[in-house]
Amino acid sequence: MRFMRPESLLTPTPSGLYCPSGAFYIDPTRPVDRALITHGHSDHARAGHSAVLATRETLDIMRLRYGERFASSTQSVTYGETVRLGNVAATFHPAGHVLGSAQIAVESGGCRIVASGDYKDAPDPTCAPFEPVRCDVFITEATFGLPVFRHADAASEIAKLMKSAALFPERAHLVGAYALGKAQRVIALIRRSGYDRPIWLHGALESITGYYAECGIPVGDVRPARTATRAELSGAIALCPPSSLQDRWARRFPDPLACFASGWMRVRARARQRGVELPLVISDHADWDGLCRSVEATGAGEIWVTHGQEDALVHWAKQRGLRARPLAIAGYGDEDEAADASTESEAP
Ligand SMILES: [Zn+2]
Ligand SMILES: [Zn+2]
C-alpha cells in the first residue's frame, strides 16, 4: 500500500529533484547542502556542494575533474548498499552508463522512486550492467526518445573502424569521443577486436582513461599523442574530444580520417556537418527500444521524464495506461551526447 505521494517524496525544483524528508537533492544543478550524485558527467556532477554521496568511482571522477576540494565532505556508497537519510532509504543500483554510474532508489512511506540519471541497457565492457529496479515511479531521461533512434550493436560499429584501418593502413584514424565513458568504451572495444598496437590520446582524455586503467578496465597500451613522432602517428588510431576532430590538434596526423562515436551519428546530416568520414553509432544512452524496455522492466505505474525528447516517451507511456509527465529540469544534457557538446578542452 502506498502512503506517501510521490511528489512529496521527491519534488521537482529548478535546482533538481529534492527530497524534503531526507533533506537532499539528486544531481542538483546548483550548489546545495546535501547532494546524491548519479554519475560523473558534468551536467549531473557539479562542484561546490557541502556533502556529496555517490559511488567511489563517481567521487574519484569528480576529484579528477574539480580537484580535492570539490565538496566539503564526501561519503561513498557501493551498489546495493542502503543509506538512511532522515526517514528515507536511498539505495544505489548500476545504471550501465559510465564507470560508477548509478540509479538512485529512494523509499519512504511505502513509496519507491528510482531516479536513473543517464542509463543504457546495452552491454559495455567498462561498467557494471544496468539493473532494472522495481518501483512505483521511474524517473528517466529521453535523450534518444524517438522511435527513429535505434542504436546499432557497438561491437559491429567498431568492426567498421577496424575494417577502415585495415583498408587505409597509411591513414591515421581519429575517433572523436566524449572524455568520460565513451572514449574508454571505444578503447576497450577496439582491444576486444584484437588490436594491440598503441592507441594515442588527446590530452583531454588522459586522466580519465588513466583512472579507468587503474580500476582494471582493459585499455591496453594508451599513450599521449603529444609525445608521438609523426612516423608513429602514420596509420595510427587516436582518440580526441569531438571538437578536436577539425582543429589544429588534428593537423599533426598524416592524412587523418575523421570518425565520431556517438548516438547522434544515426543522423547523417550531423555527421556531414562535422566533416565526419566514418560515423560510428555508439551511444551511452538507451535508444528508443531500450527506454521502453527499461520502463517496462521497472513495473512502474508512473514515469517522469527529466530531459531529452520527452514528448514521445510521455505519449508512449500514456498509451500503455501509465501516468507520465515531463519534468523539464533545466541544466541536464550539457556535457555528454545529450547535448552533442563540443565544449571540451582543446589543450594539446
Ligand atoms: Zn551522462
Ligand atoms: Zn546527462
What are the tens digits of pLDDT across the range 265-303?
Answer: 998 899 999 899 999 999 999 999 999 999 999 999 999
Using pLDDT thresholds of 50, 70 and 90, give the confidence band for residue 344: very low
Amino acid 328: pLDDT: 78
Amino acid 334: pLDDT: 55
Which residues fall within 8 angstroms of residue 262, CB to CB, at 6 or more apart?
Answer: 176, 177, 178, 182, 242, 279, 280, 281, 282, 283, 337, 340
Distance 97 CA to ligand 1 centre (A): 7
How far apart are alpha carbons 253 and 245 in whole angstroms? 11
Task: Please say whether the beta carbons of 180 and 40 come within 8 A.
Answer: yes
Q: Is the pLDDT of residue 61 over 50?
A: yes
Q: From the CB of residue 86, how many other CB atoms can be counted at a distance below 10 Å?
A: 12
Q: Is the pLDDT of residue 321 over 80?
A: yes
Distance 47 CA to ligand 1 centre (A): 16
Distance 337 CA to ligand 2 centre (A): 8
Using pLDDT thresholds of 50, 70 and 90, give the confidence band for residue 347: very low
Distance 120 CA to ligand 1 centre (A): 10
Backbone angles phi, psi at 36, to 5 degrees: -105, 125
Q: Is the pLDDT of residue 14 over 90?
A: no
Amino acid 121: pLDDT: 97
Looking at per-residue pLDDT, the higher value among 274 and 27 belongs to 27
Distance 294 CA to ligand 2 centre (A): 17
Amino acid 189: pLDDT: 98
Amino acid 2: pLDDT: 52
Q: Which amino acid is at 125?
A: P
pLDDT tens per residue, range 239-266? 999 999 999 999 999 999 999 999 999 9
Distance 335 CA to ligand 2 centre (A): 7
Using pLDDT thresholds of 50, 70 and 90, give the confidence band for residue 343: very low
Distance 54 CA to ligand 1 centre (A): 14
Q: Is the pLDDT of residue 339 over 90?
A: no
Amino acid 329: pLDDT: 82
Distance 217 CA to ligand 2 centre (A): 22
Task: Please say whether the beta carbons of 5 and 22 come within 8 A.
Answer: no
Mean pLDDT throughout 67-82?
Answer: 97
Please name which ligand lies nearest the alpha carbon of 178.
1
Using pLDDT thresholds of 50, 70 and 90, give the confidence band for residue 335: low
* Mean per-residue pLDDT over the chain, rounded: 93
Using pLDDT thresholds of 50, 70 and 90, give the confidence band for residue 18: very high
User: What residues does 13 pair with on adjacent strands?
Assistant: 16
pLDDT tens per residue, range 169-206? 999 999 999 999 999 999 999 999 999 999 999 999 99
Percent of the chain with pLDDT over 90: 89
* Sheet strand arrangement including 34-36: 11-13, 16-19, 24-26, 34-36, 49-54, 71-76
Distance 119 CA to ligand 2 centre (A): 9
Please name which ligand lies nearest the alpha carbon of 331.
2
Mean pLDDT throughout 84-91?
Answer: 97
Q: Which cell goes with 41?
A: 558527467
Q: Is the pLDDT of residue 341 over 80?
A: no
Distance 288 CA to ligand 1 centre (A): 17
